[in-house]
Structure formats: C-alpha cells, structure tokens
Amino acid sequence: MKRRDFVSVAVAGTAAIASTPAAIQAAPPEGKAGRIRQSVCRWCFPKLSLDELCQQAVQMGLSGIDLLGPEDFETVKKYGLVCTMVQSHGLADGLCEPKLHESCLKTLQERIEATAKEGWRNVICFSGNARGIDRKTGLKNCAAALKQIVPVAEKHGVILNMELLNSRVDHADYMCDRSDWGIELVDMVGSDHFKLLYDIYHMQIMEGDLIRSIQKNHRYFGHYHTAGNPGRHEMDATQEINYPPIATAIAESGFDGFLAHEFLPTRDPMTSLREAVELCRV
C-alpha cells in the first residue's frame, strides 16, 4: 500500500487492544520518552482503527499521530495526543504547476486555520509531479505559490512543511526529490514558517549521507519521517539505514519538532512500531 492509496476507514483490530481510553496505561513521565518527540503515520496501519492506534501510541509514549485531516482531530484529542502533521492537498498535484495553485492554496488555507484552531504546529505540502516542467521553473512556481500562503501560516503560527520524496522507486516525476532543491526553495521563500519534511527513507534512496545532511542543514528541516530501506519496512537488521546515530544527530541539532514513523510492517505491527520507537529514543 502507498500513502496516496490509503483511505482512512475504521477496521476491526485485535481483541487484545483495550477498547476504552480508561484502559490505557499512563504515558511515560516527562523526559522518559527521550529528547525527540515521536509519532506515527496513520496510513501505515490500516488494520487498526484510529482509536486503537491512539491507544497504542499513548502506551508507547508517543506525542501524536501524523497525516490526519480535521475529521480525525477529535479522536486524537480524546487521548491527549496531537496531530503532528496535518494532511492537505494531493501529493502528485502540487505547487510546481501554476494551474493547480488556486485549489492547492485554498486547501492549505483551510488546513492552516484548522491546525491553528487546535494550537498545533504542522501542515504538509507538496511540490507535485513535474509533468514536463523543468526544475528551475518548478522552483519559481513553488516559490510564487508559497509566498501567497506563507503569510497566512505566519499569522496563525503554523509551519508549512514540503516533503522530500524519492522519484526513483515510489514517486516517479516528483519535483522536490533532493534536499538541495528543497533548501533553495526555503531560501527563496525566506520564512521560518516554511520548512522541509526530511524523509530519511526517501533521502537514503536519492542521496544518502544522511547524518552529514542533518548536521549541516537541520535548520531547514521542520519534521522527519522514518522507514527501513530497501522496502519501506521495519527499521531492523534486514535494511541498510542505521537509525540510532541518525536519531542522535537529530537530537543534538536542537530539533524541537516531531519524528514520525512511516514504515509498512511485515510482522506484528505494534511490535515493529515499539521497536522503531526504541531505536529512535535518545
């Protein structure tokens, strides 16, 4: 399953998961969860309802759930969690295409306002697919769109995060597929309310040198995603990314945002998630 194919539906989970908030164990005390606030992406766990995923998140000491829409906000709030990244316009139909600016900006404004109403921080955005647009023109098109919407984000205290995605394996023709392109865009926009979502899995595929990139460019990164490579599965010994030192580099950069797990489990999903959380606990 790919994120763009995911439809948020309530699916019956395992009987072992408690059915009411009262059954949830208390989250670890302040500081016990480590120096990085972690969360989990909803779309990766379709066999659990959002309620069930929230219950598990609380037990693991997570801060919230990633990539939700406003229709899900009341559920996460019920468990004392936040939406760590609010979903917005489509991944392929993004800001590098001028004819899509009006619809994308309308959605972004709605999501910025909904996020600010909850006192939360992050809204995602995408460059979209190039569809024949060269990279220099796409850069200018994205900057032009963002300069219209970033003042709204600034007014509401919200950060827009454009995700870096790989164009080799998962998202062919996606424009914002390298960190240097994204960094140039952030500089063009020139606001602390526009940053990059640095997806560790995607950037391993496109450019590698992850720790050095984090150490050098962390001021450009407002959010992180994880997954194992190859395969976008568990972050274990079957894959090539060594997450503990990466998490340490993120923590030592002074990062105060969220790191969200976005992998597709191949075995017991909650065991895999718990292992990922421990790998990234600093």
Cis ω before 98 (30° cut-off from 0):
no
* pTM of the predicted model over 0.75: yes
Active site residues: 163, 262
User: Tell me: the pLDDT tens digits for 56-70?
Assistant: 999 999 999 999 999
In the chain, where are the structural domains located? Answer: 36-279
Q: Is the pLDDT of residue 174 over 90?
A: yes
Asked if 211 and 242 touch (Cβ cutoff 8 Å), the reply is no
CATH number for the region 36-279 comes to 3.20.20.150
User: Tell me: the pLDDT tens digits for 35-44?
Assistant: 999 999 999 9
User: Tell me: the pLDDT tens digits for 5-37?
Assistant: 543 333 233 333 333 333 333 344 333 569 999
Q: Is the pLDDT of residue 141 over 80?
A: yes
Angle between helices 210-217 and 179-189 (to 10 degrees): 10
Q: Which one, of 192, 100, 198, 202, lies nearest residue 154 by Cα? A: 192
